[in-house]
Every structure is written in structure tokens, then in C-alpha cells.
Amino acid sequence: MNMKILVFGSYDFIKKLPDQIHESATDNLVAITDFHQAVAQIQTASPDVIFVQASLNGSIELCGWLKEQTQLSCIHCILVEDRPHQLVQRSENGWEWDLDMTTAALHQGADAYIWQVQTEETATHHLMLGQLTVGLRKAQKYRDLLEKNHILSAIALADSLTDLNNRRALEWELPRQITKARNQNIPMSLLILDVDYFKRVNDQYGHLVGDRLLQLLCTRLRHNLRSQDTPFRYGGEEFVVLLAHTTGEEALIVGERLKRIVGEQPFGINSKLTIDITISLGVASLENDDDEQGMSLLHRADQCLLAAKKSGRNRVMGWHHLSPSPTLEAVS
């Protein structure tokens, strides 16, 4: 594992660090001596371990800032004491005072507190390398935890039958897409589609055939969507597709193409059974007064889907503001 090491200290301070620390760093160690620059660096590229020179202005402040950042709790902060007056106090007051200083440093945000004493250079280097190992283990455990959480999140947000994102994933992704569209002032649309007369398939052939048909349908849809389109299984035989960078007119074209590629070729369930199906689709585009969660946007698309089914199915219905009151536009 590569070790990302940041040093908040002078060039001379870096030179005194053990050679093994220089060898462990992913990149060459760079001396950062400004508090705000250090914070910016940490936020841009989070390190695994930070060595902090105690005599540098802002050193204790940096340790305290790190302690307050919950998302940066994996960073191992090592405060290296090199202040001359503190070194004198240590030699005069003994181990009890040393223990009090260590307790204070840990309370202020450091994960480790090491004395940089020239007469004890070998011991100091051993302590630094020991803490480097602790930081390495801490970083590895954090990476392992992130990977496990990522796997669990993927399982929780995936539909087990179709491998598409599920409704829970849609509830997380739709607000994010809406925020992005508004911040970047770009269009966004979505469509809801439903398999026409799907209950007849289950009643005639059984639910296993129905499940296989949904799997084949999702495979065909996924292979015919654009790179910016994100499909979700909304429930049963109903699906939602988020259409980023897409106007209402473009969304109707996408819907019409999906309707065509589903209806033009039967689905081969096995070597003896093929089934013809059609789909109905409702399309809506993001408007200024839509809520941030996307409920009103979903509702409009759902109303269009209902209208498409009532008007004969195998149709695409879009919502357009052609007048002060909304009207429905159908594509058959």
C-alpha cells in the first residue's frame, strides 16, 4: 500500500525525519508551513499520516481542526515536539510532567506525541516509524471499511431480479440530478414506462416466465439507452429512466425509440417460447417550480403514463406547456 504523508513543518524539520519515512511517502515530502495552505492540501488530497512540527505557528490549531473533521478521522496526526523551552521543561520536571504534556497534546487533537530530542535521536526515530506503522494500519482498515460499505450500498441499491438500480436508488439519485441540472442550467427529463398487459403473461405462463421476460426487457433497454440515461426498476413491471441533458422534445424521441425497439422484435424466453410485448411511456421535463426531491416531476410523468395507457397503450405521452394550463401531447 502506498502511504500518503503530509508534513506541516519546515525544510529543516523534514530533513530530520527518518529515511524510511521519505521512502514510504508516495510523493516526495514537501514542507508546508502555512496553516491555511495545509488545510487546503488536506481537503484536496487527504493524506494517511500528518507529521506536525510543534514549534511552527498553527501546529496545535491544525491538530484541533483535524479532530473536528469527522470525515477526516482516518488521518493519523503525529505531533512532534521540538520547542526548545518545552524540551528544557521536560529534562527538568521528569516523566510525570512528560505524561501531562502527552495527555494535553492528545486532548488537543494529536493521535501521537513524540519528543524530538537530539540526544535521543535513535529512540525518536523508532517512535516515528512505529507511529507510521500505526497510521498505515489505520489507513488500510479505513480503505477496507469503505470498500465493504461500497459493496453493501451497491447491494442495497440494486434490484435483485434485473440488476438495475432500484427505487431506493432513484430516491437518492433524482434529487442529485435535479440539483446538478439547476446549478449548471441544463435541461433534464425523465420517463416512466410500463409493460402493457403484463398480468396476462404471468397468468398464462407463470411468474417465472414473467420474471425472465422482465430480465430480457431490461437487457434490451439498457443496450439501447444513451450514456447519460440512468434506468431504475420502479416496481413490478414499471421502470423510470432519468434523462440528463435532455429537453422535453428530445425525451419524446428517446421514448419513441424505446417503444419501437421493445415492440419490433419478440422476446425469446427459451427455445420453444417467444413472447411479443409492447410498452407505454410517460415523459416529463424539469420545471422551475418542481420540488427538490422530484416528486412533482415524477407525478407529471406518471400522469402521462396513465394517459398513454387509457388512450390505447403502446404509446408515448409527453407533458407540454403549450398554454397557461398544461396539455398532453401523444406520440404513437
Catalytically active residues, by annotation: 237
Percent helix, strand and coil across the chain, each to the nearest 5:
50, 20, 30
C-alpha cell at 317: 405521452
Q: What is the DSSP string of 93-117?
A: HHHHHHHHHHHHHHHTT-SEEEE--
Nearest to 9 by CA among 114, 130, 126: 114
DSSP state for residue 276 in the 8-state scheme: -
Beta bridge partners of 81: 115
3-state secondary structure 199-231: HHHHHHHCHHHHHHHHHHHHHHHHHCCCCCEEE
Phi, psi of 255 (to 5 degrees): -60, -40
Cβ contact 125:115 at 8 Å: no
Cβ contact 158:172 at 8 Å: no
Cβ contact 178:294 at 8 Å: yes
Q: From CA 9, how far away is CA 55, in angstroms rounded?
A: 9
C-alpha cell at 297: 416531476
Question: Measuring CA to CA, how many Å separate 291 from each of 27, 167, 170, 175, 288?
Answer: 46, 18, 15, 9, 8
3-state secondary structure of 63: helix
